[in-house]
Amino acid sequence: MMVSGVHASLMDSPVRGNESLPPLKDRQVGCARRPKLLDQLRESLRSRHYSSRTEQTYCHWVRRYIHFHNIRHPAEMAEQEINAFLTHLATKEKVSASTQNQALSALHFLYRHVIGREVGDLGEVFRARKPKRLPVVMTREEVKGVLTNLTGDKWLMASLMYSAGLRLMECLRLRVQDIDFSRNEILVPEDKGAKDRITMLPESLKAPLQQHLKTVKAIHERNLADGWGRVLLPDALDRKYPSVPKEWRRNGSFRRKTAGKALRRAKRRHHVHESIIQKAVNGAEKRPTWPNGPPATHSVIPSPRNSWNRATTSGQFRNFSVTRTSRLR
């Protein structure tokens, strides 16, 4: 299928996921190369300090939207085409209500900030139904059974999430400077809505966490000696303060065993991938508990933050499991 020059500048990579769509090649329009639509979308998202995950998600849905309408430019489409795409997601692909709303948010952002016009009344959109379910809360014994089947860093991360009420990515991105051992507090910077919040650090986890940070610090010092122990800072702070990325307090608490590459092609050690702890907790749910009690390395089972927040922290603890067991409805 031949693609016109106007449409050839829409996208720069195929859609990821179950569908396999052909990549579109760049075309020259006159003597100047037209900016790609997704490049404009990324620039607009980054200028408003959206996260990299939001950027990836929005680009994904814009690609899906364009391919659904046979590579038509979004500027040539309006509410009718948006309605058809959202209805297709709900009726044909059977997506959840949150997934359909995510796609709608991406299209709203595209038209408002890239195309330059607001999305009007979408009419009768077939909306995916959001099920009304009661929250599933783990008991103290169930949590103990999961934690006793975890060891090392995975036990420490799971215990922090359960007892301090941390989300999965909040725990993985936790930096040394965010932990205040003297006040038993953990600072969660730029929570949802770009707001900071403070949560408690359980007394029972102070010693294991301090021991863990000693090991991480030794690795950080070896990395610095090898010339690549810098961390990635937001808002170009590493260029303004060149020595700050090398500081120990800026280092992440839970890092990968091997180095990776950041967006700026600098060799860095990133945080542990979220799938590592997800798979560990999922496997711990399915294994029986230790017959003679938990090993000495993690014999302390932290308590939830308080009775009011028990449902919240336990719910988040359950939510990062990859699969849902028969107890979940």
Query: So what's the pLDDT on residue 269?
Result: 66
Under 8 Å between Cβ of 106 and 58: yes
Cβ neighbours around 76 below 10 Å, total: 10
Banded model confidence at residue 219, pLDDT cuts 50, 70, 90: confident
Interval 300-326 mean pLDDT: 40
Instruction: Give the chain's radius of gyration (CA, Å).
Output: 23
In the predicted model, is pLDDT for residue 308 greater than 90?
A: no
User: What percentage of the chain carries pLDDT values higher than 90?
Assistant: 20
In the predicted model, is pLDDT for residue 322 greater than 80?
A: no
Task: Give the range with max mean pLDDT: 30-39, 130-139, 174-183, 257-266.
Answer: 174-183
Enumerate the β-bridge partners of residue 186: 179, 199
Higher pLDDT, 36 or 128: 36
Banded model confidence at residue 126, pLDDT cuts 50, 70, 90: confident
Spell out the residues 6+ positions from residue 266 whose beta carbon is closer than 8 angstroms to its own. Answer: 228, 230, 232
Enumerate the β-bridge partners of residue 185: 180, 200
Higher pLDDT, 325 or 22: 22
Structure tokens at 214: 């000693």
Under 8 Å between Cβ of 189 and 200: no
Task: Give the range with max mean pLDDT: 97-111, 193-207, 234-248.
Answer: 97-111
Cβ neighbours around 193 below 10 Å, total: 6
Query: So what's the pLDDT on residue 191?
Result: 66
Span 140-319: which CATH code? 1.10.443
Spell out the residues 6+ positions from residue 281 whose beta carbon is closer than 8 angstroms to its own. Answer: 146, 150, 154, 158, 317, 320, 321, 322
In the predicted model, is pLDDT for residue 13 greater than 50?
A: no
Query: So what's the pLDDT on residue 130?
Result: 73
Interval 87-105 mean pLDDT: 91
Query: So what's the pLDDT on residue 31?
Result: 45
Quick one: 45 exposed, middle or buried, by C-beta within 10 A (0-12, 13-18, 19+)?
buried
Lowest-pLDDT choice from 65-74, 144-153, 229-238:
229-238
Type of residue numbered 95: V
Residues 101, 235: Cα–Cα separation, whole Å: 29
Higher pLDDT, 310 or 183: 183
As a whole number, the mean pLDDT across the chain is 75
Banded model confidence at residue 266, pLDDT cuts 50, 70, 90: low
In the predicted model, is pLDDT for residue 3 greater than 80?
A: no
CATH superfamily of 5-115: Tyrosine recombinase, N-terminal domain (1.10.150.130)
Query: So what's the pLDDT on residue 146?
Result: 87
Nearest partner of 281 among 243, 325, 241, 251, judged by Cα: 325
Nearest partner of 174 among 277, 104, 96, 84, judged by Cα: 277
Query: So what's the pLDDT on residue 265?
Result: 53
Enumerate the β-bridge partners of residue 180: 185
Residues making up the chain, counted from first to last: 329
Banded model confidence at residue 276, pLDDT cuts 50, 70, 90: confident
Banded model confidence at residue 21, pLDDT cuts 50, 70, 90: very low
Element (H, E) at 261: strand 260-261
Structure tokens at 114: 């890239």
Domain ranges of the chain: 5-115, 140-319
Running DSSP on this structure, what letter comes out for residue 286? Answer: H
Lowest-pLDDT choice from 129-138, 142-151, 289-298:
289-298
In the predicted model, is pLDDT for residue 23 greater than 50?
A: no
In the predicted model, is pLDDT for residue 233 greater than 50?
A: yes
Structure tokens at 6: 């106007």
In the predicted model, is pLDDT for residue 116 greater than 60?
A: yes
Element (H, E) at 224: helix 206-225
If DSSP codes are grouped into helix, strand and coil, which group holds residue 108? helix
Under 8 Å between Cβ of 259 and 243: no
In the predicted model, is pLDDT for residue 222 greater than 90?
A: no
In the predicted model, is pLDDT for residue 189 greater than 70?
A: yes
In the predicted model, is pLDDT for residue 57 greater than 90?
A: yes
Banded model confidence at residue 85, pLDDT cuts 50, 70, 90: very high
